Amino acid sequence: MPDINRNYTHFIEGDFTSARNCEFIDSIDPTTGNVWATFARGDANVADEAIQSSHRAFGGWAALTGHQRWSAILELADALENRWEELVETEIRDNGKRIAEVRAQFSGLHSWFRYFAEQGKNIGPKAQSNTNPAVESETHYVPYGVVVAITPWNSPLMILAWKLAPALIAGNTVVVKPSEHASASTLEFAKLAYESGIPNGVLNVTTGYGHEIGDALVRHPLTRKVTFTGSDTGGRLVATSAAENIIPSTLELGGKSPQIVFDDADLNSAVNGILSGIFLSNGQTCVAGSRLIVHHRIKDTLIDRIISCANSLQSGNPMCTTTQIGPLANEMQLDKVLTHIEMAKREGAVCRAGGNRIHPEDCPNGYFVEPTVFDNVKPSMRIWQEEIFGPVLAVTSFHEEEDALSLANEGNYGLAAGIWTSDLDRAGHIANRINTGTVYINHYRSVDPAAPVGGMKHSGYGRELGPDAVEDFLQVKSVWTGIKPIPSPYPGLKW
């Protein structure tokens, strides 16, 4: 692919900021290994500029009626529906996601905005049935003010849509800090949002490192809430800074999601669900089904099929529609995945497919790793416990249902789980006892505006999406109105 060179500055107050006095961070195209763009390296001063801008914009945006904000967000949704293709190549350059997957995500971006705009448009006061006949009371819902949204590199725009749509319809203004590895699509999105009519300062985007500008945004005295998606390491730091600033945080963190396959499962569906769980987006998805727990009677049959599919997947240029495995998103991720593969080999897991970096003919310097399957994995191994965020499947087997459940519930994470069986009573029973925020039965990977997502244990707290998504961006206020004369609190007291 020809190298492009774009220099991106922050997007504040409806435009890209001046490049003067900016330091820049190189963004490497993972398909070529070459610099394709640079992002401004923001600091506390830039954080202040962006937050002040969003704080100024807050009064006007919050004062609009829900219907007026709904209408502005629908304009944005229309612009996305008409122009999403403009963003596709930018995202692929930034994180190497395959064109088929980017197209699928981007062609549906508008629908998240429509759904939450609709959900939040009529939120108004609710009467309380209090016990005092002398007063009426109501619950009012008010926006927080400036919300900081911090996003990772794997699906920057979809994850942003989940935060932005409910936050904006609720009347908040938002400062976004995308990943330093993949900020371009978020910046281009902000430009598109302004062109669609979102007012100045209602959405600002600042770029740079998490520990620099990210932390400064969370600690800013005018920031009222933070919504974070990323690693548990990043989440812990963000939650600590948010606690010190006494602001609420929502954390969507990592996972090490189990897929349990019983011997009565429809094996074709299970194989397809397992492949999509671990190899789509190269395993760089929070819900990657990276731990396979399979009944001993069907283990060999199932693994043989998975290995045969893994070995036949075509790696190559993610811009090409026939490519089945693209590059990993950045060099740090490449190193992390290769290190985990080496560790798994040293710890005694048996590598049954893949296990190596590869150099496809059309992009020999890209960050490619073969789809990899490890068998005979023990729960004590790091490959079983740690999130790799790559195309690496760890397999173990079980005899009894209880053993499958305790293997699935092992470890610090609790994001998602898959259960494959034709016995729906059994599946329901396990779904009740599995400690994850999402459970898929004979299915894997769906997301929908109506279904809340989020984690248990170290996978985070709070939920995104679902029927309460907008309320998560609203503060609750009780308003009391006296309807009878007030008796003296000191009977007999003379005026």
Q: Interface with ligand NAD by CB under 6 A: which range of 98-106, 134-142, 177-185, 475-483?
A: 177-185
Residue 389 lies near ligand NAD (rule: CB under 6 A): yes
CB of 206 to ligand NAD, least distance (A): 10
Tell me if 218 contacts ligand NAD by CB under 6 A.
yes
Binding mask 337-366 for ligand NAD (x = CB under 6 A): ------------------------------
Instruction: Please name which of 412, 430, 433 lies closest in space to residue 421, comparing C-alpha atoms.
Output: 430
Nearer residue to ligand NAD within complex by CB, 199 or 462: 462
Does 215 interact with ligand NAD (rule: CB under 6 A)? Answer: yes
Beta-bridge mates of residue 259: 292, 418
Binding mask 146-165 for ligand NAD (x = CB under 6 A): ----xxxxx----x------
Among positions 220-239, residues that touch ligand NAD (CB under 6 A) are: 229-231, 234, 237-238
The CB-of-314 to ligand NAD minimum distance in angstroms stands at 25
Residue type, 78: D
22 is catalytic: no
Which two structure tokens, joined as six digits, stand for 62?
A: 């919050």
* DSSP state for residue 313 in the 8-state scheme: P
C-alpha span between 488 and 480 (Å, rounded):
19
Q: What tokens does 363 get?
A: 């992009």
The yes or no reply on residue 71 touching ligand NAD (CB under 6 A) is no
Candidate ranges 131-139, 203-211, 290-298, 376-384; the one touching ligand NAD (CB under 6 A): 203-211
Residues 6+ apart with CB under 8 A from 303: 294, 352, 373, 375, 395
- Residue 94 beta carbon to ligand NAD: minimum distance, rounded to whole angstroms: 12
**Binding of ligand NAD at residue 254 (CB under 6 A)?**
yes
The footprint of ligand NAD on this chain (CB under 6 A) covers a number of residues equal to 32
Is residue 91 near ligand NAD by the rule CB under 6 A? no
Contact between 255 and ligand NAD by CB under 6 A: the answer reads yes
169: helix, strand or coil: helix
Residue 351 · residue 372 · CB < 8 Å: yes
User: Of 145, 214, 277, 418, which one interacts with ligand NAD (CB under 6 A)?
Assistant: 214
| 465 part of the interface to ligand NAD, by CB under 6 A | no
> Given 49, 188, 286, 464, which residue is catalytic?
286
Give the x/- contact pattern for ligand NAD in 390-419, rule: CB under 6 A. -------------------------x----
Please say if 363 is a catalytic residue: no
Contact 203, 188 (CB under 8 A): no
Pick 76 or 148: Cβ nearer ligand NAD: 148
How far apart, in Å, do the first and last CA atoms of the chain sit?
Answer: 87
Cβ proximity to ligand NAD: between 255 and 326 the closer is 255
Task: Quote the longest CA-to-CA distance of the chain.
Answer: 96
Q: Which of 94, 51, 103 is nearest to 323 (CA)?
A: 103
Sequence letter at residue 69: R
The closest of 311, 299, 304 to 356, measured between CA atoms, is 311
Q: Which is nearer to ligand NAD, 214 or 316 (CB)?
A: 214
Q: What are the residue ranges of helices labelled H in 325-453?
A: 331-347, 382-385, 401-408, 424-433
Which of residues 94, 252, 375, 472 is near ligand NAD by CB under 6 A? Answer: 252
Instruction: Specify whether the CB–CB gap between 97 and 281 falls below 8 A.
Output: yes
Q: Which is nearer to ligand NAD, 100 or 237 (CB)?
A: 237
Interacting residues of 256 by C-beta distance below 8 A, sequence separation 6+: 290, 291, 384, 385, 386, 387, 411, 412, 413, 415
Residue 98 carries which DSSP code?
-
For 102, the 3-state DSSP assignment is: helix
Q: Of 49, 188, 252, 464, which residue is the catalytic one? A: 252
Q: Are 147 and 174 in contact (CB under 8 A)?
A: yes
Tell me the residue length of the chain: 495
* CB closer to ligand NAD, 316 vs 411: 411
Query: Pick from 49, 91, 370, 387: which binds ligand NAD (CB under 6 A)?
Result: 387
Give dist(CA 470, CA 455) in Å, integer: 18
- Would you tell me which residues interact with ligand NAD (CB under 6 A)? 150-154, 159, 177-180, 209-211, 214-215, 218, 229-231, 234, 237-238, 252-255, 286, 387, 389, 415, 455, 460
Task: List the catalytic residues.
Answer: 252, 286
